[in-house]
Structure 1
Amino acid sequence: MAVSTTPVRTQLSTLLTLTHTEIQIAQTRVVQARTEAVATELRENAENGKLRAVAIEKVLRELGGIPEITRPLVGRGVALGKTVLEQAQPLDEALLGDLALEQQLLGRAKYVKALGTAHDLPSVVDLADTLIDAHTATVDWLTTVLAEEAIGGPAALRRTPTQWASGVLATAVTLPGSVIARGADRVIDSVSRVPQRIGGLRSSAKETTENLRSAAKETTETVAVTLTAGRDAALEAAEEAARETGATGIAETIHSARVATGTITADDLPIDGYDDLTVGSAVSAIKELDKPSDIRLVVDYEEAHKDRQGVVSAAQTQLASIAKEIAGTN
């Protein structure tokens, strides 16, 4: 018996360590929850993880194994190390790490079920089925949260200040190449248009000079308009320009600045008369939105002003529905 069940006990011991890691991560994620509903879900996941750990220990003892006292400490230590390291990562990378852990737990649970079936161990098979259901649900949830993040949020989890900064840094690192590429495109386009603008290669030097002066004047006027515009208009224009040129990361950073400085107004929202809506009316209106950018705008405005949890939660739920469809986790 002891020899034949060694592979099962080995896998259960590993699952126990990983489960304690999962518990610790769920507990640390609570502070990142965007809404109380998400925080409650994370707390429940941590508590359910503890129940799964107890169940794994029970089966281990039935098989003659003795759960190691140090394993919970190892699992929590791994989670603590992960939490510290991921502060230097953008949120999506941290979530991908969480997803990898859950996928490993799911894969090992399926393997344990196969081992339990091969060794005719009903208690192991039952335990494995429970673990498979739990980790499948968590994999789907994390996949959905990543999809929410990909389409611009609001995701169920907020970035920590360090993760927000690292996300901006990642954008900054890739920015020079993007700027150079777009700049090169503009130069090539400008050069290709020179013959048209100056009336052909045989145009006179005077005509060439006049064209250059005209271009310089137009550029000066554009800069003057931008500099004399108000801060709010400048930020709005900058965000729009960034989106038009495909610099989504920069656009999001500018958007965050607009939110922080209170430059988003009710007139920017896709819902008419938003400031006069009750929670119920706002929730109903949000359920009619199908563009992630519109939902994000409402959440940003709501959190910066009334910050009604019922409204924010409804917006996050609506976005989650869209994300689930995209990720195929419905």
Structure 2
Amino acid sequence: MSNTNAKLINQLRALVLLTQTEEQVARTRISQARTDAVRRELTQNADNAAARTLEITDQLRALGGVPDVVTPAIGRLSAVLKATFEQVAPFEEALFTDLQLEHQLLDRATYLKVLADHAGETEVRKLAEKLVEAHSATVEWLTVVLAEEAMGGPVALVPTPVQKVAGGVARAVNAPVRFWANTVNNAVDTVRQAGEETSDRFSAVTDRAAALSDAVRESLTAGRGATLRRAEQVADREGNRDAAQAARSAREELGHVSSDELPIQDYDSLTVNEAVKRAKSLTKPRDIRVVIAYEEAHKNRAGVISALQTQLASLAKEAVGVQS
């Protein structure tokens, strides 16, 4: 066996393992799809990965290589471990590991193509070109999904409950309380460092801290929407625009807004087709996020959510320089 042939076989074996992992990851993502369209796309991706596994195995055999019977099991195990460990990480980190896997598949497919060219293995070269095209598309898709997340989402995939706690949604929900807590802590620390513990300024700050602690306790027993709205009103009254905005953003993230707060007028009276048409006019990720959250919380019309998601994806593609 020539050195080049041995390299081809080694790369094909590695690609079988990674492609098997890719398939299982895609299947775990199906349950996280935000829309039916994304769910269908992920299902097709998983099926395509399974088909690619068979094609790679056929080429491996054609070159005289023996497929590793353990490889599929390892691929599935890798996907299971990945899905398990990513639960304690923020959602964007899970997407980055997906992207890392696709980049490795793309890079190995590119390397395989060059090896096949050098060895004169036409069929392997054709397979490598097919793999390069498939993984390039997936890399682009994941890059856009990450851009959607960076722009404030919501993304095509929905974080699991544990990931929500670890990442974005928890940050949004806790933003007002965390802002107030940090404000009080910083104020107290500043006063203490200045040696003013006994001054009226320190008394005022500590009294405020106690009052805010009571407000936090109330927020734990009241409805989230009402609590956040109350926090926004209090912050507005006290002239604290940052805290008011944090509370409003949290309400928007949870869909706790009224129809007259939406960036689309008379939203509740719109039919599906009318809402879809208006969705295409939105140019700010924040506006799209607000409407999606409201739609999911109140009407949950799949066609409208899909249209809003498509509009957000278009903005994300523009942000990362991906051609539509």
TM-score range, shorter chain: 0.7 to 0.9
Deviation at 1:266, TM superposition (A): 0.4
Deviation at 1:124, TM superposition (A): 1.1
CA distance in 2, matches of 1:54, 1:136: 20
Q: Tell whether the 8 Å contact from 2:231 to 2:244 is kept in structure 1 after alignment.
A: no
CA distance in 2, matches of 1:163, 1:212: 39
Deviation at 1:163, TM superposition (A): 0.4
For residue 289 of structure 1, the aligned residue among 257, 282, 288 is 282
Q: Give 5+ residue unaligned stretches, structure 2.
A: 194-198
Q: Tell whether the 8 Å contact from 1:16 to 1:71 is kept in structure 2 after alignment.
A: yes
Q: Which region of structure 1 is more displaced relative to structure 2, 3-12 or 42-51?
A: 3-12
Paired residue total: 303
2:94 counterpart of 1:86: no
Aligned CA distance change for structure 1 residues 115 and 252 (closer, same or farther; 3 Å): farther
Corresponding residue for 2:64?
A: 64
Identity %: 43
Aligned CA distance change for structure 1 residues 117 and 245 (closer, same or farther; 3 Å): farther
Q: Which region of structure 1 is more displaced relative to structure 2, 59-68 or 127-136?
A: 59-68
For residue 269 of structure 2, the aligned residue among 276, 285, 294 is 276
- What does the per-residue CA deviation read over 1:156-205, in whole Å, with 9 as the maximum and x for residues that have no partner? 00010010011169858xx989965896589879x9xxxxxxxxxxxxxx
2:265 counterpart of 1:267: no
Corresponding residue for 1:108?
A: 108
TM-score, L = length of structure 2: 0.81
Deviation at 1:57, TM superposition (A): 0.7
- Report the 3-state secondary structure (helix = DSSP H, G, I; strand = E; otherwise coil) of the residue aligned with 2:34: coil
Corresponding residue for 1:198?
A: none
- 1:151-300 pair list within 5 angstroms: 151-167=151-167, 171=171, 184=186, 235-236=228-229, 238=231, 244=242, 253=250, 255-256=252-253, 258-259=254-255, 263-300=256-293
- Report the 3-state secondary structure (helix = DSSP H, G, I; strand = E; otherwise coil) of the residue aligned with 1:8: helix
Q: Tell whether the 8 Å contact from 1:243 to 1:251 is kept in structure 2 after alignment.
A: no
Larger radius of gyration: 1
CA distance in 1, matches of 2:319, 2:78: 32
- Report the 3-state secondary structure (helix = DSSP H, G, I; strand = E; otherwise coil) of the residue aligned with 1:324: helix
Deviation at 1:244, TM superposition (A): 2.9
TM-score, L = length of structure 1: 0.79
Corresponding residue for 2:196?
A: none
CA distance in 2, matches of 1:308, 1:246: 30
Q: Tell whether the 8 Å contact from 1:17 to 1:75 is kept in structure 2 after alignment.
A: yes
For residue 131 of structure 2, what is the amino acid of its counterpart?
Answer: L
Q: Give 5+ residue unaligned stretches, structure 1.
A: 192-207
For residue 38 of structure 1, what is the amino acid of its counterpart?
Answer: V
Q: Tell whether the 8 Å contact from 2:228 to 2:248 is kept in structure 1 after alignment.
A: no
CA distance in 2, matches of 1:42, 1:212: 57
CA distance in 2, matches of 1:243, 1:22: 46
CA distance in 2, matches of 1:127, 1:57: 11
- 1:125-164 pair list within 5 angstroms: 125-164=125-164
Q: Tell whether the 8 Å contact from 1:2 to 1:64 is kept in structure 2 after alignment.
A: no
RMSD value over aligned CA atoms? 3.7
